[in-house]
Amino acid sequence: MARKNPPQAFMSSYAPRLRLYQNSLLAPVIQPQNVIPQARTTKRGTTAINYAEDGYDDDFDDNVQGIWRDWMGKPKRALTESQLQIQPALPLTLIPIRIDLNIPSFRPEAPLPTPANAREFGINEDLTAYKQPEATPEFRLKDAFLWNLHEALLTPDQFAKTFVDELDFPNDRKVVLVMEIAKQIRTQLEEYAGVALHPFFDPDNNAVTDGPAAKPAGAALSRGESSTPMPTNGLTPAPTNGTKEVSPMPGVNSVTATAEPAAPHDILNPDDTYRCIINLTINLQNHLYNDKFEWSLLHPPGLAEHFAKVTCADLGLSGEWVVAMTHAIYEAVLRAKKDVFDQQSLLPGSGEVDNDAAEGAEAGWRYEPEHLADEWEPKVEILSKEEIEKREGDRERQIRRMRRETARFSSTANIAPQSDYFNQQVAEEQPMGRGERSKKKKRFRSLSPSGRDTPDTGFGGQGGGLQEWERQNWRCAHCKVWGSAVWAVRDGPSGARVSWDLLFWLCGICADFLMQTLCNNCGLLYERDKKLPPWNKDLYSHDRAFGTR
């Protein structure tokens, strides 16, 4: 039985501080003003300075009233040691996730609930802790982080619920916000999965050794009879405990050591065959960061994080820039990989010599001391209010452009769509002569998966995905995770997944048997090990689909 973890704290000022102070996570939406207020001036036309204002407000500690909610006192979700073993058995594939939501104005709840017997104990109900604050302005929620594509211990629904609870949004909007955040995470996982799991950029790290396996050496009785050789420098012979020769004992195996080169995919020497030029443009609050550098598409996990930490430390940037820079690098790398697949050519920037020569001739680098390698230098600019509004307009246009390119960037662009009973895909190569219409009608009424040309489930394709209306009732046959928390499904021991249009014609028992498909994590381990992992058996059996039950 899993133990219940006690709550960490009973009050928190995290959400009030986010609404009160300036930050990049929850920023208020300021409507543009047409009339610009004039600054106070003196008789000579100079700007009046108010010496009573202190420009160093950070020197004074402002006490923010903490809040208490019901979810703070509840025990957290605990897992057993056996259940925690499922995550190390899965690979690590980091996917950049971006959350962007508009939060309408709302009125937060009172920081502390008024006790039922407040008058009996003489508690003043007019205190600030028991009064409901004023309405907040409209906020824009923007967050960027990395998500493991093979995450097995945390679902997007659970992450979104914890995220919304910590930001203290009103209860009547929590369900909608949780479903929207989980949908954005799941959609981006589906889009990037086809590129991140492509065999071209997914090297095999399993080292295969030739020859029979070495047998373990037997136990030695003394140092002179030990099978482990002692270190020697070639000048002084190794001591032999007074004996010139070592008499071998029966049952002791000899040990031989051979030197072999390290694996080609070592984390200290990553494969940098595929390089590209990355242009980063990051905007946080009123700061703009621009940088240009060369990066390898086969970088190991953790390299982008280390690069971001060192760069932010050199430039004096705060900790939130580390996450934003890491996210931007992962996103740029995945887009460069997608361009390689679409264009079937070299990486962007490879083979180009930017030397400012006439007609693109290779004339070597020009030596200009003032502007030498100026574009390769990281720059941080402080934007004005007008520049921020201009960039917001460019951002809206970029979002509309990205929505039009979603179909092209999606991992299901080159995969045949899944056909069903009500949506038949008719190929153009099929003949349209006499009698073909009746044959097509017979094929249309076929209930066989092969007759309906049902595609196989893939690692990131639409054939391995779920429709939105399927997620409400689908569950993994092994770990019992809901369909709203997975981005792809795989075949299980019961066979291939059957479309829902066929399940409508079958009884309940047969339908339940044919729905025995697995989530991506369970299916990956079943395909690799030929058996289901026992650690995550019924891991999510007690959970319910958020917003559907």
Identify whether the C-beta of residue 486 lies closer than 8 Å to the C-beta of residue 158. no
- Reading the chain (549 residues) residue by residue, the pLDDT tens digits are 455 666 666 788 899 999 988 888 998 887 655 555 565 555 555 666 666 655 555 555 567 888 999 888 787 888 888 899 999 999 999 999 999 999 999 999 999 888 888 788 888 888 888 888 999 999 999 999 999 999 999 999 999 999 999 999 999 999 999 999 999 999 999 999 988 888 776 654 443 334 344 343 444 444 344 444 444 444 445 555 555 555 555 555 667 777 776 665 555 565 666 788 899 999 888 889 999 999 988 888 889 999 999 999 999 999 999 999 999 999 999 988 888 877 765 555 555 555 555 555 565 656 666 777 778 889 999 888 788 778 777 877 877 787 777 656 554 444 444 444 444 444 445 555 555 555 544 444 333 333 333 334 344 334 477 888 888 888 898 999 988 889 888 888 876 665 555 454 555 444 444 456 889 999 999 999 889 999 889 999 888 777 654
* Size (the chain), residues: 549
**Helix orientation angle between 171-196 and 156-166, rounded to the nearest 10 degrees:** 140
Q: What is the 3-state secondary structure (H, E, C) of 18-42?
A: HHHCCCCCEEECCCCCCCCCCCCEC
Q: Give the N- to C-terminal CA distance of the chain in Å, as an integer.
A: 26
Spatial separation of the C-alpha atoms in residues 503 and 421, rounded to whole Å: 11
Report residue 368 CA to chain centroid gap: 42
> What pTM did the predictor assign?
0.70
- Measured over the CA atoms of residue 241, residue 244, residue 247 and residue 253, the dihedral's sign is positive
- What is the distance between the alpha carbons of residues 275 and 296, in angstroms, rounded to a whole number? 4
CB 499, CB 523: distance < 8 Å: no
Residue 92 near residue 301, CB atoms below 8 Å:
yes
Determine the Cα–Cα distance for residues 458 and 474; give it in Å rounded to an integer. Answer: 18
Interaxial angle between packed helices 320-343 and 303-315, expressed in degrees from 0 to 180 and rounded to the nearest 10? 130
Measured between alpha carbons, how far is 408 from 492 in angstroms, rounded to an integer? 30
- What are the residue boundaries of the structural domains of the chain, listed by start? 14-29+65-196, 269-351+375-383, 436-529
CA distances from 246 to 219, 227, 236, 286 (A): 16, 11, 17, 76
Cβ atoms of residues 293 and 376 within 8 Å: yes
**What residues form DSSP beta bridges with 490?**
518
Distance between CA atoms of residues 218 and 71, nearest Å: 58
